[in-house]
Structure formats: structure tokens, C-alpha cells
Structure 1
Amino acid sequence: MFDTTQCSRLSRSWIGVVLSAGLVLLAVPVAQAEPVGYVSESAGGIVRSDYGECVHTSGWSESLAIMECEPGLAAAEQPAETEVAAMEPAPEPVLRRINLSSDTYFEFDRAVLTREGMDKLNEIARTLKQARDPSIHIVGHADRIGAEDYNLKLSRDRAHAVEQYLVQQGVPAQALQVSAMGESSPVKECAGMRGQALIDCLGPNRRTEIEFSAFEVVEPER
């Protein structure tokens, strides 16, 4: 007959063998990869010189440095942990259209700018130097004293006087357009006046109108 007691003993023996084998397998350490570029000892670890320095192989380079042997080089190879702020694009200038007008005055029967006229033109020139793509229209005028043809020529001379002055102040000549109206577009009539009183009253008609538009470059706030 089959001895059940003996069978139980055999089962326990096999279980013990299997468990013992498992423990032996678990006890075997997993081999670790040796650092590349360094001379390794047979028992593990890196061979060091009499001065305690790690011994390199012929294929060693700074990019293979490890913290254990070359902490300075290894730290330099690590990526910086500081967060780099993203570069924001510079804002584009904003273009704002300027619409200005000014009247420059002349003395009676002359095409020479008055001091007041030059001051106004200086202000206009400063504005245009800060503008983009200026477009200037200069229109000369005269009073009604004298012949019509003479007054038309006088108004044209006054417009050219303004044109030349603006060019001298740095305004591009190609942005200037000149025309003459003579006595055809007065701003004052001065009816019933004569002599010096009439000359003084018609002073606003001896003018050059300057109309211009441009784009002023306005830097946006950062």
C-alpha cells in the first residue's frame, strides 16, 4: 500500500528545496553597468591612482565625467534648473494721423516771411520730423490791392517762400505741393476802408495756408 505519511514528507521536502532555490536566486545581486570611460576593478568599482584620482580609459572625454570622480565637470554638464523667461516681442509702433493747418503772414506787397510766420513754420517742421509719410499742401494768397495777375504771382511767390523755409528746416521736398490762389479767396473784405487802414485790415488775406497730414509714430507703453 501507498504510505500517505511518506508522501506528505516528500511534498514538504520538495517545497523546502523550491523555497531554498528561490532564496538563493533573490540573494544574487544584480550586476550594475560600469561607468563608460573609466577603468573598473574586477570586484566592482573604479580603479584609482595613488593620488585617489579615477583612472580613465583612452576613450574618456569630459562629456563622460561622473559626479563620483569629477564633480565639477559633471555639474557643468547638468542642465540649468533656473527658468528662462520667454523673450517677448517688441511692440510695434502705433501710427496716428495728424491733421494740422496754419496760416503764415506776410507784409504788404512782399513775399518775405514775418517773424510770426517763421515761428509757426518752425513748429510745423518739428512736428513733421517726428511723423511718417508727411503730405504738405502750401497755398499762397494775396489781398485785393493791385492788379489780379500781379496778386496771383505774389501769392505764388509767398507759397514758394514757405516751401523753401520748410526744406531748410529738414522737411523732405518731395512731400511738398505748392499752389496759388491770388486774391480769389479772402478771409476779410474791409469794405469802405482806404489807405493805411485798408492795408492793415486786409493783413489776414496776405497769407499762405499750410495743410498737411502725416502719421505720427507713437510708441506704445511697455
Structure 2
Amino acid sequence: MKNIVAKKLLLGAVVLPVLFSGTAMAQEQPEAYASDRRGEVATDSSGDCWRTGYWTPAMAIYECDPELVPKPVKTVEAPAPVVAPPPPPPVTAPEKVSLSADELFDFDKAVLRPGGKEKLDDLVAKLGDVKYDTIVAIGYADRIGAEEYNKKLSLRRAEAVKDYLVKEKGIPADRIFTDGKGEANPVTGDTCKGTKKTKSLIECLQPDRRVEVEVAGTREVVQ
């Protein structure tokens, strides 16, 4: 390494003593290496750094005196964690169940039969994986009898279904709504002939005596 010794040339000038305070001296940091015009450490043709007369081993830098300074350790940034993409949204489908009245009630009755209770038990079991907000029970009646009577009968049947679901299955009452449509929307259409209450006509009109339970919710469908 090359050392530079600064020399003072006095050309008829009077050198006056200058007093420096201890604080000022402490703040001045002498240069250990000579710098070029770009402010970088000056080197000779061999690539060695030029040391100034102030240089001491304690002021050595790795680029010029690697044998005096430990090699700096490069910090390696930890790789960014791999974030798995979010799962696709579940595919859902609406739920609507129609229950036959002859399984729930006797003819011209609104009292649940044992078989009807089993049907409702099965319905609740199927709702286990359904996310629902409301359940609507709509009762229907056949065309035998007076229209006003059948409308009230259909509503009593819907209310009987609600009462069982609330008291026996624990479904909140404010989530179940009921309605009675009477003779409206017959499933049999005009296929059953006759107007008198005969056994054959009662059997023919059986599909019209029903309770439709519609669940306003969704079920996840496995793709």
C-alpha cells in the first residue's frame, strides 16, 4: 500500500498559531485513504489503495485491506411465503320438498299421522347440510267440499307441520312461515272425474292433498 505524507510549503507567509478546542478536534475525521475526483478511493496501477498518513489498522476497509477486516456477511432475505390460492366458491342449489298429505294426515284431517312425523323427521335430517334462512310450509286441499272450508283446512295442515318442526325438531318459529292455498294448483288437473265424495274419487285426488315445504337456502353440491 502507498502512504501519502502531506508537506507544508511556507512562501514568506507568516504562520499564526491557531487554537482548536478539544470538541472541534474530536469532530474532524481524518481520511484513511486518498480519494479521486469522483470521491472514490484512489488506487495505483496495481489496484492498491493509496493510504494517507492518517491511516491506522483500525481504519482499514475490506475493499482495500481485506486481511485486516472480516469479510462482510451478506444478509439473505427469506423467500416470501407461498400463499395458496383461495378455494373456489361452493356450488349451491335451492331446496324444495313436496310432501303428500295422505302420508301426513288422514282424509279431511289436520292432525299429523305417525307416518307423517317420520316424513318430517327425514326432511329435517336432509336439511343438516343446508344453509337456510326461512322455511315455508304451504298446504293444499282437493276439490271435494266447499272452497272456503278447504282453504282453512289447507292452512291448518301447514300450521300442524310448523308446530311439529318447532316443538319436536327445535327449528326457530320465526324461521317458518305458513300459508294455505285450498284447492288452488291441483296436481291432478282434470283427470279425476265426478263430483260426489266417493272412495274412488278420494283416491284419485290424493296428489292434490299435499303440503309443500320450501327451504329458502342453499346446499353445497359436490362437483
| TM-score w.r.t. length of structure 2 | 0.52
Corresponding position of 1:10: none
**Residue 205, structure 1, aligned to residue 204, structure 2:** no
Where in structure 2 are there 5+ consecutive unaligned residues? 1-55, 60-74
- Give 1:95 shift: 5.6
- Give 1:111 shift: 0.8
- Give 1:205 shift: 2.0
Corresponding position of 2:140: 141
Other structure's SS at 1:111 match: coil
- Give 1:82 shift: 9.5
Distance (Å, rounded) in 2 between the aligned partners of 1:126 and 1:208: 18
- Give 1:165 shift: 2.3
Corresponding position of 1:152: 151
Correspondence 1:1-222 to 2 at 5 A: 31=57, 86=82, 88=84, 91=87, 94=90, 96-105=92-101, 106-167=105-166, 168-188=168-188, 190-192=192-194, 194-217=197-220
The question of whether the paired residues in 2 share the 8 Å contact of 1:93 and 1:219 is answered with no
Other structure's SS at 1:211 match: strand
Distance (Å, rounded) in 2 between the aligned partners of 1:93 and 1:148: 47
The question of whether the paired residues in 1 share the 8 Å contact of 2:93 and 2:221 is answered with no
The question of whether the paired residues in 2 share the 8 Å contact of 1:132 and 1:216 is answered with yes
Corresponding position of 1:36: none
Identity over aligned pairs, percent: 38
- Give 1:156 shift: 0.6
Structure 1 residues 148-157 or 85-94, which shifts more? 85-94
Where in structure 1 are there 5+ consecutive unaligned residues? 1-29, 34-78
- Give 1:140 shift: 0.8
Other structure's SS at 1:143 match: coil
- Judging by fraction of residues, say which structure has more helix: 1
Distance (Å, rounded) in 1 between the aligned partners of 2:155 and 2:100: 14
Corresponding position of 2:44: none
Other structure's SS at 1:191 match: coil
- Give 1:141 shift: 1.1
Distance (Å, rounded) in 1 between the aligned partners of 2:216 and 2:137: 12
Distance (Å, rounded) in 2 between the aligned partners of 1:128 and 1:102: 14
**Moved segments of 4+, more than 6 Å:** 81-84
Other structure's SS at 2:162 match: helix
The amino acid across from 2:151 in the alignment is: L
* Pairwise CA RMSD: 4.2
The question of whether the paired residues in 2 share the 8 Å contact of 1:125 and 1:171 is answered with no
The amino acid across from 1:202 in the alignment is: L
Aligned length: 158
Instruction: Describe the shift of the 1:133–1:95 C-alpha distance in structure 2 as closer, same or farther (beyond 3 A).
Output: farther
Distance (Å, rounded) in 1 between the aligned partners of 2:209 and 2:114: 14
Other structure's SS at 2:92 match: strand
Instruction: Describe the shift of the 1:100–1:212 C-alpha distance in structure 2 as closer, same or farther (beyond 3 A).
Output: same
The question of whether the paired residues in 1 share the 8 Å contact of 2:136 and 2:177 is answered with yes
| TM-score w.r.t. length of structure 1 | 0.52
Distance (Å, rounded) in 2 between the aligned partners of 1:129 and 1:173: 17
Q: 1:115-165, CA deviations, whole angstroms, 9 ceiling, x for partnerless residues?
A: 443343233323334222433222111122333222221111001111122
Instruction: Describe the shift of the 1:93–1:140 C-alpha distance in structure 2 as closer, same or farther (beyond 3 A).
Output: same
Structure 1 residues 159-168 or 82-91, which shifts more? 82-91
Other structure's SS at 1:99 match: strand
